[in-house]
Structure 1
């Protein structure tokens, strides 16, 4: 389930979207996220599905990876839009800052977040 809160113009919006596995797969393919490998044997244990926080974390990493580099305010705006919450967007921003795959440098007035391979 994804909850989106904010405004459209001056109209407040509070939207809850429920996604099943096929919806998440379509969303992942739209973002060019590789699909998880399917087990070849039917007896193999199923992989634990990502919870909503981990799914948002993957999307946040993909967002920065595709952009290559974003300023802190631009990245925060996109993360807030993704999560529907300023607090959740800030949590993802902090998590990105501490990720070994992200380099943060001072870009004058704002930090610049860069994806490193």
Structure 2
């Protein structure tokens, strides 16, 4: 169970999210931060610094573009907005990707193309 408390503007928020084992496994594989359930982590692997929520979303955004290889700006923004649940947060990720050394952005007429650089 995950509990999120805070405010959205002046509105108080108290959200409880319940995840079963398969949900946690999918989340872990999407974030690529944990061993599959029931399998211990490799003993030789160095201890990874835990990801905060912003780092986790950033990793998922990079993985999204890496797997696609290339996306148009509007398509990428739409997917980032879906990932974050917010147009503003999606735009911030888009700007962060634009300035990343792992991403190449070229103009294709009116639409920029975002490409992952291997």
Contact 1:71 1:112 in 2 (8 A): yes
Name which one, 1 or 2, has greater alpha-carbon Rg: 2
Structure 2: distance between partners of 1:63 and 1:53: 15
Give the TM-score normalised by structure 1: 0.69
The 2-side partners of 1:33 and 1:76 are apart by 22
2:78 counterpart of 1:77: yes
**Contiguous gaps of at least 5 residues in structure 1:** 4-14
RMSD of Structure 2 on Structure 1 (CA): 3.4
Question: Residues 107 and 24 from structure 1, CA distance in 2 versus in 1: closer, same or farther, beyond 3 angstroms?
Answer: farther
Distance 1:16 1:57, change over 3 A: farther
Contact 1:68 1:115 in 2 (8 A): yes
Question: Higher relative CO (CA 8 A, sep ≥ 6), structure 1 or 2?
Answer: 1
Deviation sequence 1:54-86 (CA, Å, 0-9, x none): 000000000000000000000000000000000
5+ residue gaps, structure 2, are 5-14
Tell me the alpha carbon deviations over residues 3-34 of structure 1, each in whole angstroms, 9 at most, x when there is no partner: 9xxxxxxxxxxx874669x85553242x4947
How many residue pairs get aligned? The number is 102
**2:63 alignment partner in structure 1:** 62
Work out which of the residue numbers 40, 43, 49 in structure 2 matches 1:40: 43
For residues 32 and 46 of structure 1, the distance between their equivalents in structure 2, rounded to whole angstroms, comes to 16
Whether the aligned pair in 1 keeps the contact of 2:81 and 2:91 (CA below 8 Å) is: yes
CA contact (8 A) 2:31 2:60 kept: no
What is the match of residue 27 of structure 1?
27
